[in-house]
Amino acid sequence: MMTHKETMQAIKAGNIALGVEFGSTTVKAVLTTEDFKTVASGSYEWENNFKDGLWTYAISDIWLGLQTAYTKLQKQIHDDYGVEITSIKTMGFSAMMHGYLAFDKNNELLVPFRTWRNAITGQAASELTQLFNFNIPQRWSIAHLYQAILNQETHVKSVDFITTLAGYVHWQLTGDKVIGIGDASGMFPIDEKTGTYNQIMLEKFRSLKSVQQYNWQLENILPKPLKAGENAGYLTEKGANLLDPTGHLTAGAIIAPPEGDAGTGMVATNSVKKRTGNISVGTSIFSMIVLEKNLQHVYSNIDIVTTPTGLPVAMVHANNSASDLNAWSKLFAQFAQLIDYDIATSELYQTLFNAALNDAEPDAGGLSGYGYYSGENITGIPEGRPLLVRQPDTDFTIGNLMRFHLFTAFGAIKIGMRILEDEQVLTDNIVAQGGVFKTPIVAQKLLAAALNTNVTVMKTAGEGGPWGMAILSLYAANKSTNETLSEFLSHVVFANEKSETLSPDPSDVTGFEKFMARYVAGLDIELAAIKALPSQKRKE
């Protein structure tokens, strides 16, 4: 590890890497040295706005978020090392995937940014899935474009370029209309053999009568896909001023292909080679498994995207996970306050989680229910109604309650993962990340039972997507022609990474399967709750 003086000298010399990720609630920037250690970070909290029936972010907020996060990072460097950042060797930008940013030939935005959250493309997604015999989710860019065509939106005739949020930021900072192949795979299906958009599907799209009325060709308005390690351009003077309006930062940094948050998550968990996978647990939950072979069937609950090197990945995404677990934990915190007991949040979670492991029955004592704060795509539930269901003779203890909440956090994703089990998709190991794993062992052990596979938690894997993007930029700047991304991560970046792997306990596996039987059987209860308790907007 570099000393404080060595780090300061590296910053002064510009031997540093910048990674920025635009998440749904936070824009975060991290600065690393060439030994992959984070030396500073900065962030900006933002929220999408529901405007004219669509979820969007203002373009001005994109730049405000980037500049604010970078300014905070600069300040930390100045405070900690007493130097200014004047040059950066390499950098990269990532963001939430999918969505729709459309521009005309004058580079003017045609309609407000339509994010992945907009579920307005049902007809387009369904028709394209049938046309391609390939699952096209509603949030994909091609679904947004085709829905605009079906809706006969006048702006479509003027489209000259469409891209994602990461692709847009990269374009403005470099002048290059390119995109990382992983992010591209959430715009339009990728052909693994060619490393670009699927030509057969492009031709099928072109053959649609509704598409033939336009002068543009789809392949010409999409950004060019690039694989990890390729040079995606350089920071221009305009880009340097956009990133750092103070004028301290000079142009010239090597910039990696812009990636989606799924790709940076794979990098941050060293899950980019075949038979590896990762799972992220938070408000929502999603798993990514790198495939050895194509799936035999098309499934609406499984997206096929790619790693940053273009390998196919099966993605299972559930809208709900740990929100209700957190709500109940806050309830216990309020009780502690009522009795004047001061307990730290970390101690509270550790106490509650340990009860789920040490003072609970394998199947959570017969408890059932759903932590649905919103509709759940995997189970076909249109709206959220958090529910706890128990029979009169259920053993209602804190241990069983907390085990139930952890089980239900993994319930919906398990249904999607069963499809992969039926397809005989094999994984050697799954790396887990998310706040629930900060308490050692408990959530990790129960997730291993839920997925019936080994689960690894990295000791220092809290860096997340922005760090993963910085790592991709260092790979692009230092790539050896003989070193794959997988080799770079395993042999260099994570060579000394400390981690702990837990195997599924047979009794926990049996208990979770009993819980899942109740979970599936009781979905009608959730539907009945929606019908009996109509959604009401709360007064501000």
pLDDT digits (tens, 9 = 90+) for 375-412: 888 998 988 999 999 999 999 999 999 999 999 999 99
pLDDT of residue 460: 59
**What are the tokens at 179?**
């995109």
pLDDT of residue 538: 42
Distance CA 103, CA 306 (A): 26
pLDDT of residue 242: 97
pLDDT of residue 198: 98
For residue 424, the 8-state DSSP code is: T
42 — phi, psi (to 5°)?
Answer: -150, 155
Q: Are 471 and 493 in contact (CB under 8 A)?
A: yes
**What are the tokens at 102?**
């459309």
pTM of the model: 0.88
Question: What residues in the chain have per-residue pLDDT under 50?
Answer: 538-540
pLDDT of residue 539: 38
**What are the tokens at 65?**
């978020």
Q: Let me know if 49 is exposed, middle or buried by CB neighbors in 10 A (0-12, 13-18, 19+).
A: middle
Structural domains in the chain, sorted by start: 1-96+168-179+230-257+462-496 (3.30.420.40), 98-163+188-221 (3.30.420.40), 270-460+501-533 (3.30.420.40)
The residues that bridge with 161 in the sheet, in sequence order, are 103
**What are the tokens at 37?**
């250690």
Using CA of residue 174, residue 177, residue 178, residue 182, what is the dihedral sign? positive
- Encoded amino acid at 176, one letter: D
Distance CA 60, CA 71 (A): 16
The closest of 365, 388, 395 to 515, measured between CA atoms, is: 365
Q: Are 417 and 317 in contact (CB under 8 A)?
A: no
pLDDT of residue 310: 97
Q: What Rg do the C-alpha atoms of the chain give, in angstroms?
A: 24
